[in-house]
Amino acid sequence: MYENDALVGQEAMPETSQPEPVSTEERPSEKPSMETLLQEEGLALDLPKQGEIRTGVIARMSENEILVSIGTKSEGVISGREKEQIPAAEYATFEVGNEIPVFILNPEDQSGNVVLSYIRAREEQDWQSVEALMMSGDSYDSKVAGYNKGGLIVHIGSLRGFVPASQISILRRVDTGSEITPDQRYAKMVGDPIRVRVVEVDRERHRLILSERSALQETRETLKDRLLDELKAGDVRTGRVTSLADFGAFINIEGADGLVHLSEISWERLKHPNEILKVGQEVQVRVISVDRDRKRIGLSIRQLLPDPWLKKVEGIKEGMLVEGKITHLTKFGAFARLGDDLEGLIHISELSEQRINHPKEVVKEGDVVTLRVIKIDAERRRIGLSLRKVDSPAYADQDWKVFAHEIEEAKTTPAKGEEDLVSEIEVDSAEEEIAE
């Protein structure tokens, strides 16, 4: 029984065990870093990376440097040299506690500082902005900052953009006075507002190409839609000539172009608009048509000008007798000049009481004949004449009244010398003939 008890006791007693060896793979080879421990605790440092842009807070400003807090264990540094490159107007806004964008030049220099750049941060942001502008096609409002012989310099943020001469709006390129060189034209534009569109971005070459014409085209379309809704035939507006063509002139009205056809520029016949107009000239126009579907505006300059033809025909009345010189013949009639530069038509049916096949059967070029005015069409600026109605009984009463009026005027005209005395004798003789 004791032996069994002893065995039981031996089984009950645990054996002393030796610790199992730990493999070298499971044994940590070195002490964990502070970064690892912080990561395990969820407190990892947001370490800066070169080329990164961050928003920092100005912690301290001195003559030699600017310290900026960017969320690391120590402030980043903007050096004195970098500080000197910051535009004065921008630097004047810097105050302790203000937020500014910074570019990480070096996450850690020899002294353990993070080296920052405000200039590079602004530049990088601006490159991103112009790339977005080019993708969207949106326009940007700025001012003309300078020029060279090839075009204008325009700033977009901290970047210098270039507007080539071919991309400057037509109105801005108009010559004024005797100033015809680019320098003379462009110098006057410095400081003027300008709207541009980004057409090329090349960071590597530091190249930014802009276009005013492209931006204005977008604006012009918007303005034209609005103007088309407002305009109606008969409206009078002030515009500026933007371009000339063989068929007419384009006039800009409130940012939108309308066309003045060659026939609507002047009452006189023109071969080309440049006989009267020049690009950049300010003119008054009357709206004569508005085509909203085709987005076209028809304009007229001549309708706002006095019609010289009406002045020429002031003393001519329908039914009166006039003297005319045959200028040329056509199948349908003969043209006769009345005075210096007024012309009328004698239709073939008004040349003779007899039926004729061609005007040459009755008159020839150079003949001076007495004609009767039978029609004055002011709207079409035409005078109708007749040769066969010169002696027509239908006009006898009218002719008598005209003749009597002329005699009365001759009698009331003050006599002046021998010539007037002769005239009075002729008038008296005429009166006697009438009395008889």
Return the HEC string of 47-91: CCCCCCEEEEEEEEECCCEEEEECCCCCCEEEEHHHHHHCCHHHH
Higher pLDDT, 29 or 69: 69
CB 153 within 8 A of CB 160: yes
Tell me the HSE value of 116 on the side-chain side, using a 13 A CA sphere: 29
Residue 11 is predicted with a pLDDT of 42
Greatest extent of the chain over all pairs of C-alpha atoms, in Å: 195
CB 56 within 8 A of CB 116: yes
Residue 17 is predicted with a pLDDT of 47
Residue range 137-216, CATH number = 2.40.50.140
Yes or no: domain 309-398 corresponds to CATH 3.50.50.60: no
Percent of the chain with pLDDT over 90: 35
Residue 64 reports pLDDT greater than 50: yes
Nearest to 279 by CA among 308, 250, 236, 317: 250
d(CA 403, CA 397) in angstroms, rounded, equals 10
Residue 360 is predicted with a pLDDT of 93
CB 237 within 8 A of CB 258: no
pLDDT (mean) for 209-217: 88
Residue 45 is predicted with a pLDDT of 57
193: pLDDT confidence band, cut at 50, 70 and 90? very high
Residue 43 reports pLDDT greater than 60: no
The pLDDT tens digits for 374-417 are 999 888 889 999 998 888 877 766 666 666 666 666 666 555 44
Residue 72 is predicted with a pLDDT of 77
The pLDDT tens digits for 4-18 are 443 334 444 444 445
One-letter identity of residue 319 = G
Residue 119 is predicted with a pLDDT of 87
310: pLDDT confidence band, cut at 50, 70 and 90? confident
Higher pLDDT, 36 or 314: 314
Beta bridge partners of 163: 152
Q: Domain 238-304 falls in which CATH fold?
A: OB fold (Dihydrolipoamide Acetyltransferase, E2P) (2.40.50)
> Residue 371 burial (CB < 10 Å; 0-12/13-18/19+)?
buried
Range of weakest confidence among 77-86, 293-302, 320-329, 358-367: 77-86
* Intervals of CATH 2.40.50.140 along the chain: 53-120, 137-216, 238-304, 309-398
Residue 429 reports pLDDT greater than 90: no
Q: Domain 53-120 falls in which CATH fold?
A: OB fold (Dihydrolipoamide Acetyltransferase, E2P) (2.40.50)
CB 63 within 8 A of CB 80: yes
